[in-house]
A = this chain, B = another copy of it.
Amino acid sequence: MNQVDWETANAICERLSPEQDLLVREIVTQISEKWTLWVMSVLAEAGEPMRFSRVMERVEGISQKSLTKTLRQLEKGGLVTRMVFPEVPPRVEYRITQLGEELLVQLHPVWLWTVANVERFEVARAGYAGDGRTNPWTQPRVAV
C-alpha cells in the first residue's frame, strides 16, 4: 500500500531545531501561495533570465502587483534571483536558482501523479452528496 512512515517522519521532525522547523513550515507555506509555483515553472521552463514583462505574459491572469509581490518573496526565499540593470529604460531580470530548480524537480512527480489520476478525482467529486446525511453503514458514501 506504500504508506508514509510517520514514525520516522516524526523522528526527523524532532531532530530539527525550532528555527529549522519554523523554516520548513515557511517554505511549505510559500510554495503553497497562489502564484508561486506557476511563476517558478515559467522561469524554470525558460531556463534563462526573464524580464518582468515576459514573465507577466506567461503567467496568465496575474496582476502586476501580485507578480511583483510573488517575485520578491521568491527572491527572499532564495528560489529566484533578481538583477537590476542600471539602464534607461530599466531592465530587471529574474532567474530561477539552483535551489528553486531542485524544488520543482521534487514537486514534478506530484503533478504527474495528479494528472495521471484526474479521473479518480472526477469520480470522487461526482460521488459527493453535499449534505450531512451520510449513512455510516454504506461505507463508500456514494448515494446514501
A118 with B6: CB separation less than 8 A: no
Q: Which of B106, B115, B128 has a CB less than 8 Å from the CB of A12?
A: B115
A111 cross-chain contacts in B, Cβ below 8 A: 9, 24, 28
A143 within 8 A of B: no
A81 with B115: CB separation less than 8 A: no
Q: What are the interface flags for A82-121 relative to B under an 8 Å C-beta threshold, 1 for contact and 0 otherwise?
A: 1111000000010001010111111111111111011011
Q: How far is the CB of A6 from chain B (nearest CB, A)?
A: 4
Q: Which of B16, B105, B130 has a CB less than 8 Å from the CB of A76?
A: B130
Q: How far is the CB of A123 from chain B (nearest CB, A)?
A: 8
**Oligomer: number of copies:** 2
Q: Which of B4, B16, B99, B115 has a CB less than 8 Å from the CB of A120?
A: B99
A57 within 8 A of B: no
Q: How far is the CB of A87 from chain B (nearest CB, A)?
A: 10
Within 8 A of B (CB), among A6-27: 6, 9, 12-13, 16, 20, 23-24, 27
A67 within 8 A of B: no
